[in-house]
């Protein structure tokens, strides 16, 4: 016999993501999920941003990687609380893994928690991890065709950082094409052109502060 079900395939993951949202609300923490392909410069972006945010916003980082603690070591060197989430082969973070990571964080002493997802333009976008904001990062080294080729990640982004823009003269990256393709799938997320000495770094920092204020309005 045929029986009607009508249940969301990801309902268990999403229920844990809801638990995470409740925990973050209680602890007054804004969580930003950074998603990008491998080598887009997520960790380098954090290394530039964290020292500039830390004077007035207490930050922490959950580092998602298939293996190694390399990225966590780079963040720890800045004196920022960090926990490494090793997926042991899986290509994305899910809500359970992030929930485990949160248990290792001093959440009472955190204002903004960055989650650096596993480097992958496909799978991380599929999983709600209870974040407030999704920051998509795309480096100019990867090619201007990526927003069109991997639309879900850009569709769901609340902010987009184009990274390594200081190197754009050495690439064939057409920034108008990339931004145009992002705009076809997402007409609201602000897009920042970041890189060493790029003005987008300042604008991205202002956006993160605004996301924190939005997520934790009473702070």
Site pattern 85..124 for other proteins (x: CB under 8 A):
-----xxx-x---------------------------xx-
Judged by CB under 8 A, the chain residues 130 through 189 that form the site for other proteins are 148, 150-152, 155, 180-181, 184-185, 187
C-alpha atoms less than 13 angstroms from C-alpha of 105 in its C-beta half-sphere: 32
Burial group, residue 108, by CB count within 10 angstroms (0-12, 13-18, 19+) = exposed
DSSP state of 124: G
Judged by CB under 8 A, the chain residues 25 through 44 that form the site for other proteins are none
Query: Closest distance between other proteins and the C-beta of residue 3, in Å?
Result: 5
Taking the least distance from each CB to other proteins, the nearer of 93 and 110 is 93
DSSP state of 216: S
* Letter string b/e over residues 2-11, b meaning 16 or more CB atoms within 10 A of that residue's CB: eeeeeeeeee
Q: How far is CA 161 from CA 47, 88, 92, 219, in A?
A: 15, 28, 20, 26
Taking the least distance from each CB to other proteins, the nearer of 9 and 26 is 9
Taking the least distance from each CB to other proteins, the nearer of 52 and 184 is 184
Q: Which residues bind other proteins (CB under 8 A)?
A: 1-13, 90-92, 94, 122-123, 125-127, 148, 150-152, 155, 180-181, 184-185, 187
């Amino acid at each position: 016999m045929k029986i009607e079900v009508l249940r969301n395939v990801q309902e268990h993951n999403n229920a844990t993501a809801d638990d995470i949202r409740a925990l973050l609300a209680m602890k007054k923490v804004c969580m930003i999920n950074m998603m990008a392909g491998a080598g887009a410069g997520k960790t380098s972006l954090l290394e530039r941003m964290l020292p500039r945010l830390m004077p007035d916003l207490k930050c922490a980082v959950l580092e998602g990687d298939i293996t190694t603690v390399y990225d966590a070591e780079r963040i720890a060197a800045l004196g920022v609380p960090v926990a490494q989430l090793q997926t042991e082969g899986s290509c994305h973070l899910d809500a359970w893994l992030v929930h485990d990571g949160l248990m290792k964080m001093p959440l009472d002493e955190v204002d903004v928690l960055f989650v650096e997802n596993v480097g992958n333009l496909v799978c991380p976008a599929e999983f709600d991890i209870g974040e407030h904001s999704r920051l998509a990062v795309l480096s100019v080294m990867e090619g201007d065709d990526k927003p069109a080729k991997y639309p879900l990640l850009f569709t769901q982004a609340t902010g987009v950082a184009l990274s390594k823009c200081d190197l754009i003269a050495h690439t064939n990256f057409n920034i108008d094409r990339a931004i145009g393709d992002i705009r076809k799938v997402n007409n609201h997320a602000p897009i920042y052109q970041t890189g060493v000495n790029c003005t987008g770094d300042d604008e991205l920092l202002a956006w993160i502060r605004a996301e924190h204020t939005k997520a934790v309005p009473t702070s």
